[in-house]
Structure 1
Amino acid sequence: MLYIFDLGNVIVDIDFNRVLGVWSDLGRVPLATLQSRFRMGESVEQHERGEISDEQFAAAVCDELDIALSFEQFAAGWQAVFVSVRPEVLTLMHQLREQGHRVVILSNTNRLHCRYWLAQYPQVQQAADRLYLSQEMGVRKPEAVIYQQLLQQEGIPADQAIFFDDNLPNIEAARALGITSIHVTDASVIPAYFAEQR
């Protein structure tokens, strides 16, 4: 079997309020104001596909939020999204590989985040056979082609794949292609799923 894991809120807990909190402090703009303005909009999607640079992305978001930050200040906030690894998921990933299964990570991410989390959490990369990252692939979830590319590169049919993601549109898109998909609504979902398989 091929097991496909998302990264954020599946393997690593993330919290965008931490990002906004840093920007609020650095930019001297109330947190509630930033929370009301922040959207995972077109600039985020372009950045995750690798279509715009980190600097272009920072400028676009600062413009959307109407906040004055240096690129270094922006990056410091953007990296604050990561909270901690879910060790129980890493353990399961290692166990799956030991049992002869293929384990990969499929993440909508960007160069700024990758430079941080790959260095900060080396144990995540060590738990997977391969990383499939949106900014390297030029497409992002829930676009069907990202799943099709992954399956093609792995040489595995959709009915031999199981996908874990916290975002419902990503789950629905994968299911539409015939991939068994588990919606990770909290940290208990993945351990419970594997407990039921025993």
Structure 2
Amino acid sequence: MLYIFDLGNVIVDIDFNRVLGVWSDLGRVPLATLQSRFNMGEAFELHERGEIDDEEFAVRMCEQLDIALGFEQFAAGWQAIFVGVRPEVIAIMHKLREQGDRVVILSNTNRLHCTFWPTQYPEVQKAADKLYLSQEMGLRKPEAEIYQQLLNAEEASAQDAIFFDDNLENIEAARALGIHSVHVTDANVVPMFFSDRR
């Protein structure tokens, strides 16, 4: 069986409010103002596909938020998104691999985050056979092609895959391709899924 895990809020807890909190402090703009302006628009998607670099993304986001931050300040806030790893999910990933299953990570991410989280959470990479990252693939979830490309690379059929993600849109896109998909709405979903299968 091929198990496909999203990264954020599936293996590692993330929180965008932490990002905005740092930017609010550094830019001296009220948090509520930044929250009202923040959205995952075009710049976000381009960055996740690797179509714009970190510096251009920072400029575009600062324009969207109407905040004056240097790149180092922007980056400091951007990395604050990571809260901590979910050890119970890491343990499940290891167990699956010990059983002979294939375990991969499919993440909409960006180069700036990928310079950070592997050093903070080395156990994540150790728990997976392979990482499929949006900015390296030039695609992002929920685009159908990203799932198809992963299945092709793994030489697996949709029927032999199980996918875990916290974003319902990504889940529905995977289901449309015939991939059994589990919507991870909180930290208990993945452990409960596997305890029910024993």
Same fold (TM over 0.5): yes
Residues 59-70 of structure 1: pairs in structure 2 closer than 5 A: 59-70=59-70
Report whether the alignment pairs 1:163 with 2:169: no
The separation in 2 between residues aligned to 1:43 and 1:95, in whole angstroms, is 38
- Deviation per CA, 1:51-98: give whole Å up to 9, x if none: 001000000000000000000000000000000000000000000000
Report the CA distance between 1:152 and its aligned residue.
0.1
**SS of residue matched to 1:186:** coil
**1:129 alignment counterpart:** 129
Please give the alpha-carbon distance, in whole angstroms, between the structure 2 residues aligned to 1:19 and 1:191. 28
Which secondary structure state, in structure 2, belongs to the residue aligned with residue 109 of structure 1? coil
Name the SS of the counterpart of 2:50 in structure 1.
Answer: coil
For 2:83, give the aligned amino acid. V
CA distance in 1, matches of 2:86, 2:106: 16
- 1:83 correspondence with 2:83: yes
Structure 2 equivalent of residue 138 of structure 1: 138
1:41 Cα offset (Å) = 0.7
Q: Output one character per residue of 1:121-151: Cα deviation in whole Å (capped at 9) or x when no partner.
A: 0000000000000000000000000000000
Q: Distance in 2 between matches of 1:187 and 1:46?
A: 29
Alignment correspondent of 1:182: 182
What is the distance in 2 between the residues matched to 1:177 and 1:36? 35
> What's the counterpart of residue 97 of structure 2?
97
Q: How many residues align?
A: 198
- Give RMSD over aligned pairs: 0.3
- CA drift at 1:175: 0.3
| Aligned AA (2:12) | V
CA displacement at 1:5 relative to structure 2: 0.1
Question: How far 1:120 moved relative to its partner?
Answer: 0.6
Q: Give % identity.
A: 77
Q: Structure 2: which 5+ runs fail to align?
A: none
